Amino acid sequence: DAKTTQPNSMESNEEEPVHLPCNHSTISGTDYIHWYRQLPSQGPEYVIHGLTSNVNNRMASLAIAEDRKSSTLILHRATLRDAAVYYCILRDVDNFNKFYFGSGTKLNVKP
């Protein structure tokens, strides 16, 4: 299964944009890129996902490189409630829900 690489931690100031990078150099053509986050003492929650094109939703934007070997999750204005561990995951069309979460990026948001 394809793996992802993320920085262990990042820091941001409140109200500023945050760009969380993810490398997935072994991605295959059918792998979807998913992002989840886990707030303290909670289960992970879905953030966004995409295949080839950039995606936007109410929570964030996902920018996917043209060769799909990397992606960036963009939080447009970080709030204290965005402090969480962010996981970048590849999901193979043939592997259903077999997620591999990796270690994720712990985002700290400073007031």
Partner 1 sequence: KAGVTQTPRYLIKTRGQQVTLSCSPISGHRSVSWYQQTPGQGLQFLFEYFSETQRNKGNFPGRFSGRQFSNSRSEMNVSTLELGDSALYLCASSYSGSSYNEQFFGPGTRLTVL
Cβ nearer to partner 1, comparing 2 with 10: 2
Q: How far is the CB of 31 from partner 1 (least distance, A)?
A: 8
CA distances from residue 26 to 29, 46, 50, 80, 109 in whole angstroms, order as listed: 10, 23, 16, 34, 31
**Torsion angle (degrees, nearest 10) of CA 9, 97, 46, 53:** 90
Cβ nearer to partner 1, comparing 72 with 101: 101
Residues that bind partner 1 (CB under 8 A): 30-32, 34, 36, 42-46, 49, 51, 87, 91-93, 95-104
Cβ nearer to partner 1, comparing 14 with 92: 92
Q: How far is the CB of 59 from partner 1 (least distance, A)?
A: 12
